[in-house]
Amino acid sequence: MSNWLIIWAGPVYGPGGASTAGGDIGKVEWGQPTQIVTFNVGPDGGWGSSSFGLLAGSFRDADGRILPRLLASRGLNASDYDKIAIAGFSAFHGLANPLLLSDGDSIDAAILLDACFEGTAAAPKAGYRDFAAKAARGEKLMVFLGSTGQNGPGLPPTSKGYECAFNAAGAGAADAGAALEEVPTPEGMRAAKCGAYRTGDLWVLNYCDLFAGNPDVHGGIVKHMTEETLQTLLVPYLSGVRSSGALARLRAPLGVPWWGWALGLAGLVGAGAAGVAVARRQRR
């Protein structure tokens, strides 16, 4: 049986701390021994992207890597896990982008819940672009959920979340000699209001303003999409099922968890951390 590690970061609640079931990573049925480690503030006590950038920098070692010391800060070692994934919301990009650039080869999957923001007309984030190319080639899983969220008045102007996602994913796909194509939203997830796009194991799901006022287009992503995104796309991928939507379709009619189907199919083949509020408007 595999042993998985999920790095859950950004201005997020730890397992069991979210105010909505859809926003609680603790509701995910992993089907394998899985450890979740939460990083929800930077070393300065803040939860903006600059604070998570400081967190990344504070763990960078002499070889330029971040992951070993990040895990060591919690008494963990990457070699103890068969699969490692990162997932997070909003200002998480301050940590996720440098982490994927420095340690992308050691990370199996990245789930970015409206966690891509940049200055207007900025170049694609280098770490995101590099990992997106790997995902487009089918070597990793990378999922962007984007919205029309962006910095509000009084803060430096940014792209909208979906604009940043397409910027990075499109560049990575092109580096891999591929292009994003519009596809149906994976079954098991609410429909992407403004389209779902995929190439290889690289996804961009554009929810644009679906969650307007609930609590807002940006915060609604983490409050309502966390559990179903991880359950539908991350868990099957880590388990080795490459057609991510297939198990969601199998699970729905009979109420059987995905891992029950996986074990059954395998048999046939063989025989033959406390959090912080995310609803407030924070600097991204």
pLDDT 10s digits, 144-198:
999 999 987 777 878 999 999 999 999 999 999 999 999 999 999 999 999 999 9
Is 282 part of any domain? no
Residue 281's pLDDT band (boundaries 50, 70, 90)? very low
In this prediction, residue 242 carries a pLDDT of 67
Domain count, the chain: 1
Whole-number percent of the chain with pLDDT over 90: 78
Q: Mean pLDDT, to the nearest integer, of 109-131?
A: 95
In this prediction, residue 214 carries a pLDDT of 82
Is 281 part of any domain? no
- Give the CATH number for residue 57: 3.40.50
- Residue 67: domain span: 4-271
Is 167 part of any domain? yes
Model-level pTM?
A: 0.86
Is 34 part of any domain? yes
Is 284 part of any domain? no
Angle at alpha carbon of residue 231, lines to 83 and 138, rounded to 5°: 50
Is 279 part of any domain? no
Q: Encode pLDDT of 213-251 as tens digits.
A: 887 999 999 999 999 999 999 999 999 986 544 444 333
Q: Encode pLDDT of 42-51 as tens digits.
A: 999 999 999 9
Is 196 part of any domain? yes
199's CB contacts (< 8 A; 6+ apart) are: 136, 173, 176, 178, 179, 180, 181
Residue 254, pLDDT above cutoff 60:
no
Residue 263, pLDDT above cutoff 70:
no
